[in-house]
Amino acid sequence: MCAYLSHCGKSGCGFQEDSLKAQSLEHNPRRDWHNWKQVAADKKRKGPGEHGIAFNLPPNTETLKEKLYKVNGFNALVSDYIALDRSIPDIRNPGCKKKKYLSRLPTASVIVPFHNEHNSTLLRTAASVLNRAPKHLIKEVILVDDYSDKKELKRPLEDFLATHFDGKVKVLRATKREGLIRARLIGARAAKGDVLIFLDSHTEANVNWLPPLLEPIQENRKTVVCPFIDVIDFETFAYRAQDEGARGSFDWEFFYKRLPLLPEDLRQPTEPFKSPVMAGGLFAIDASFFWELGGYDEGLDVWGGEQYELSFKIWQCGGSMVDVPCSRIGHIYRKFAPFPNPGIGDFVGRNYRRVAEVWMDEYKEYLYMRRPHYRNIDPGDLTRQKELRERLHCKPFKWFMTEIAFDQSEKYPPIEPPDYAKGEIRNEAAELCLDTRHREQNERFGIERCIKDDPSQSGEQNFALTWHKDIRPNKRTMCLDVSSSSPQAPVVLWSCHGMQGNQHWRYQLQSRHLVHVITNTCLDCDINTKQIFMNPCDDFSRTQRWRFETVNATALSSL
């Protein structure tokens, strides 16, 4: 081990509802669940990565760093320098520090599936979960090993757990590779807590994370609760906020998307708010309700589609789902996926078809319109899933789209408007083209020789200024993103979120400027270095003039 633990709907029912609520609170009053002593101790901690500060490796570690990077998709060597129980910043809304929760709350089993997870990130997940939660509310932490082959995740892991964590953490081993979905089910079947909490294996729970997840379930066992997911930087392990909340959604290719908070949610920044779709693997659900819903569909392979299957099922079959701002959990978003395809074909497409056929009714056609080949994928036997839907008297998908995801079609219309402009984006001064070179998230790119001028040239030069008002390479869900208004601010690729902000662009047909709206700066380039960046807009600068191959002048006039 390279790091160790150091420490009535109707108006006439109002009075009755209020009276019942008062009686309930009398028998289960609220209390402050914070461990302020621990919070104070954390503030005094010193060391690599403490307080969620970025850690940079010392010299002469590059070889080992790259070796670990290749098998983990993140800078695992940095993780090994950081204490398992490091302190992280409390970035909750200040009002969360004053909130009180019910004094009696259900117990929780925390289920963490993993496959060849890096040792110290896995242990840090367990350490943070236990250290920042009331001990008696955590029944157990179940690490589900999905057939890992790393030696350190075998006996050495079990030996370490046996002498740490007060016997609260145990490992279950799959006898073959099951995939994320069925690994979660292995943990859920063994769990003894009232509530199941599913987490990923490279996460860190923040201050007082547990009571906000449990209280909505105590009040209504058919409420599913999701924390805010923060970002742990894959390179430096710096801890930061992703944002201050949005409602989960999807587009009609089944890419996860987000909808803006509603006015009433914005007025109450510490209160739970309804969300149509969960982000994925971090949520709490009453154990009995989970099994009433049939758990996950066991016909789903590996990963993909499970968040939609469960979200639709929750809402359509009598439950509800909320995000809670006062529970925050950091998550490492890998730089790349280090695991090979399991060799079972298009399992994601098959999963999506299963979800669509069981839950989406006529709306499935919008998915097939964009992914026609899904119609030809055999989804397997759907009998049990359709019987479950009938037995639970679940509502139609039209109800979900009308009542729960009621504003989705405004942001992600089933029939998409045309693009504003598309094709190559050529710089007038350089006569070179924007080229992302198939770069990944958070990577910079520049200008290169245009493929149309030199067919032997390779690259990625086909773009669209979409109806979302973002710019993205064709057939990809990565967008041009700018996070600074400073001169020569970098332009990177980032996952498209469809909410404008850092990805909001406008093309001015007359000046040929590509304007980044939120910073009011223009895309510029250096002809010699072939770099691109943002600068104050200058009508006389030819390096700020860009030509789209095709433009929709009528649509652009409305931008």
For the residues 162-175, what does the mean pLDDT come to? 95
Amino acid at 76: A
The answer on pLDDT for 4 being more than 60 is no
Both tokens assigned to 274: 């309804």
For the residues 164-170, what does the mean pLDDT come to? 94
β-bridge partners, 425: 548
Residues 6+ apart with CB under 8 A from 153: 114, 116, 117, 119, 122, 145
| Residue whose C-alpha is closest to residue 428's, from 514, 488, 493 | 514
**What is the distance between the alpha carbons of residues 86 and 89, in angstroms, rounded to a whole number?**
10
Amino acid at 59: P
pLDDT digits (tens, 9 = 90+) for 216-253: 999 999 999 999 999 999 999 999 998 889 999 999 99
User: How distant is the alpha carbon of residue 24 from its chain centre?
Assistant: 35
For the residues 365-385, what does the mean pLDDT come to? 94
CB distance 235 to 223 below 8 Å:
no
The answer on pLDDT for 423 being more than 60 is yes
The answer on pLDDT for 50 being more than 60 is yes
Q: What is the pLDDT of residue 24?
A: 59
Share of the chain above pLDDT 70, in %: 95
Residue 185's CB is within 10 A of a number of other CB atoms, namely: 18
CB distance 246 to 280 below 8 Å:
no
| Residue whose C-alpha is closest to residue 468's, from 427, 392, 412 | 412
pLDDT digits (tens, 9 = 90+) for 243-280: 889 999 999 999 899 999 999 999 999 999 999 999 98
**End-to-end Cα separation, the chain, in angstroms:** 56
Amino acid at 457: Q
Determine the longest span between alpha carbons in the chain, in angstroms.
77
Q: What is the pLDDT of residue 17?
A: 41
Judge if pTM exceeds 0.75: yes
The answer on pLDDT for 347 being more than 80 is yes
Alpha helices in 28-118 (DSSP H): 36-43, 62-72, 76-81
Instruction: Give burial (CB, 10 Å; 0-12/13-18/19+) of 373.
Output: exposed
Q: Which of 160-164, 265-269, 440-444 is least confident?
A: 440-444
User: How distant is the alpha carbon of residue 354 from its chain centre?
Assistant: 22
**What is the distance between the alpha carbons of residues 447 and 530, in angstroms, rounded to a whole number?**
5
pLDDT category of residue 28 using cuts at 50, 70 and 90: confident
For residues 469-494, one letter each, b for 16 or more C-beta atoms within 10 angstroms of the residue's C-beta and e for the rest, the string is: bbbbbeebebbbbbeeeeeebbbbbb
Strand pairing class (101-102; 30-31): antiparallel
pLDDT digits (tens, 9 = 90+) for 270-306: 999 999 999 988 999 999 999 999 999 999 988 889 9
**What is the distance between the alpha carbons of residues 222 and 290, in angstroms, rounded to a whole number?**
9
The answer on pLDDT for 100 being more than 60 is yes
Q: What is the pLDDT of residue 14?
A: 41
Instruction: Give burial (CB, 10 Å; 0-12/13-18/19+) of 352.
Output: buried
What three-state secondary structure class fits 488? coil
For the residues 176-195, what does the mean pLDDT come to? 95
- DSSP classification of residue 469: S
Both tokens assigned to 195: 């509530």
The answer on pLDDT for 8 being more than 60 is no
**What is the distance between the alpha carbons of residues 152 and 253, in angstroms, rounded to a whole number?**
39
pLDDT digits (tens, 9 = 90+) for 471-501: 999 878 899 999 888 889 999 999 888 778 8
Q: What is the pLDDT of residue 173?
A: 97
SS (H, E, C) 516-550: ECCCCEEEEEECCCCEEEEEECCCCCHHHCEEEEE
For the residues 115-139, what does the mean pLDDT come to? 97
**What is the distance between the alpha carbons of residues 160 and 138, in angstroms, rounded to a whole number?**
19
Q: What is the pLDDT of residue 361?
A: 97
For the residues 323-351, what does the mean pLDDT come to? 88
Q: Across the chain, what does the average pLDDT equal?
A: 92
Rounded to 5 degrees, φ, ψ at 326 are: -90, 5
The answer on pLDDT for 215 being more than 70 is yes
The answer on pLDDT for 357 being more than 50 is yes
Both tokens assigned to 138: 């955590």
For the residues 540-558, what does the mean pLDDT come to? 92
Residues 6+ apart with CB under 8 A from 43: 87
pLDDT digits (tens, 9 = 90+) for 190-212: 999 999 999 999 999 999 999 99
Strand pairing class (195-198; 108-114): parallel
pLDDT category of residue 35 using cuts at 50, 70 and 90: very high
The answer on pLDDT for 146 being more than 70 is yes
For the residues 535-543, what does the mean pLDDT come to? 96
CB distance 403 to 536 below 8 Å:
no
Q: What is the pLDDT of residue 495?
A: 86
